Amino acid sequence: MKKIGVLTSGGDAPGMNAAIRAVVRKCIYHNVEVYGIKNGYQGLIEGNIEKMEIGSVGDIIQRGGTKLYSARCEEFKTDAGQNKGIEQLNKFGIEGLVVIGGDGSFRGAQKLTAKGYPCIGVPGTIDNDIPGTDFTIGFDTALNTIIEAIDKIRDTATSHERTYVIEVMGRNAGDLALWAGLADGAESILIPEQPDDFQDVIERLKRGHERGKKHSIIILAEGVGSGIDYGKKIQEATDLETRVTVLGHIQRGGSPTANDRVLASRLGAKAVDLLLAGKAGRMVGIENNKLVDHDIDTILTVEHTIDEEMYQLSKELSI
């Protein structure tokens, strides 16, 4: 394989730049040419493709977002769209493709691979909702962004004796909420993977209040529902002053943490290794601190789960 392409697709995640950098540098290390495709599959269809050099990835390892931009692309879900993409790849002589993104992005990679075009997926999403890897690129950064925000809210919560409901991202996954809740000592953590026992939430709040607790924090995963609605329910049920913060898009940005930079570097480099070894249709991941790879077909059918023991611990520590 003499030419490899790389693109980012779907929602952006901090660390994507570090993954791009690793793909580029690993290729150059192996004397393989490397091409950046801009705006994800949209740019692939349009031939928005440029050769990358070492200098192209200078000073980006620490940047949030993605230097190659990202976009959602309906056309690429069609057979015709995929064929246009392969045409462009052939035109540039690109023989293999690294796709950095989430499950939607992997579906595209799966389709290209099925058409005989070798792709490797790199899991990049803050939601940590991809099976086959313990962590996705961006999760650790988003998590730290969340706890820094909660730390700030806690200052004012303490000053005023209030209940705060904080809605965090994660799509259908509760990982961000669960980890953030444990890391910030939340009273209650509401995630899609666990039934919401409203009565239990209310009793914890009341118990804390009676014990003289100055503030209470409830973390709600967006997959469970609207933080604003939940806050109203809480206020009605407890009569405690309740404020809601929807953290929103600050969770997708920021300079990646060390963990995300290292993970992205390892996964990006591994993706190149797989392509050079003639592999296709695989997703790289990290499991038990070791680099692994799985069939994308399998990944897309497995369901995401949370760590039950951590959820249980969160209950025990928030007495």
Per the annotation, binding residues for Mg(2+) are: 103
- List the one residue from 114, 183, 202, 276 that touches a copy of itself (CB under 8 A): 183
- Closest CB to a copy of itself among 55 and 116? 55
* 54 lies in the site for a copy of itself, by CB under 8 A: yes
Please identify every residue annotated as catalytic.
Answer: 127
Those residues with Cβ within 8 angstroms of residue 83's Cβ, 6 or more apart along the chain or in another chain: 115
Picking from 139, 91, 89, 137, the residue whose alpha carbon sits closest to that of residue 116 is 89
- Closest CB to a copy of itself among 64 and 108? 64
Query: Which 147-176 positions form the footprint of a copy of itself (CB under 8 A)?
Result: 147-149, 151-161, 164
- In this chain, which stretch among 87-95, 107-115, 181-189, 274-282 interacts with a copy of itself, using CB under 8 A? 181-189
- List the one residue from 84, 111, 204, 252 that touches a copy of itself (CB under 8 A): 252
- Closest CB to a copy of itself among 115 and 207? 207
Query: Which 12-41 positions form the footprint of a copy of itself (CB under 8 A)?
Result: 12, 14, 21-22, 25-26, 28-29
**Strand pairing class (282-287; 290-295):** antiparallel
* 210 lies in the site for a copy of itself, by CB under 8 A: no
Those residues with Cβ within 8 angstroms of residue 24's Cβ, 6 or more apart along the chain or in another chain: 6, 34, 36, 52, 53, 54, 56, 57
Those residues with Cβ within 8 angstroms of residue 155's Cβ, 6 or more apart along the chain or in another chain: none
- List the one residue from 69, 76, 106, 117 that touches a copy of itself (CB under 8 A): 69
The tokens describing 136, both together, are 């996705």
- Closest CB to a copy of itself among 96 and 254? 254
Query: Which 126-145 positions form the footprint of a copy of itself (CB under 8 A)?
Result: 134, 140, 143-145
Picking from 124, 85, 107, the residue whose alpha carbon sits closest to that of residue 5 is 85
- Closest CB to a copy of itself among 181 and 281? 181
Q: Are 107 and 15 in contact (CB under 8 A)?
A: no
Crossing angle of helices 139-160 and 258-276, in 10° steps, is 160
- List the one residue from 111, 261, 282, 304 that touches a copy of itself (CB under 8 A): 261
Sheet holding 215-221, edge to edge: 188-190, 215-221, 162-168, 242-246
- Closest CB to a copy of itself among 108 and 138? 138
Least separation in angstroms between residue 116's CB and a copy of itself is 29
Going by the annotation, the residues of the binding site for ATP are 11, 72-73, 102-105
* 266 lies in the site for a copy of itself, by CB under 8 A: yes
* 259 lies in the site for a copy of itself, by CB under 8 A: yes
Least separation in angstroms between residue 115's CB and a copy of itself is 27
* 103 lies in the site for a copy of itself, by CB under 8 A: no
* 202 lies in the site for a copy of itself, by CB under 8 A: no
**CA 68 to CA 215: how far, in whole Å?**
43
* 250 lies in the site for a copy of itself, by CB under 8 A: yes
Least separation in angstroms between residue 232's CB and a copy of itself is 16
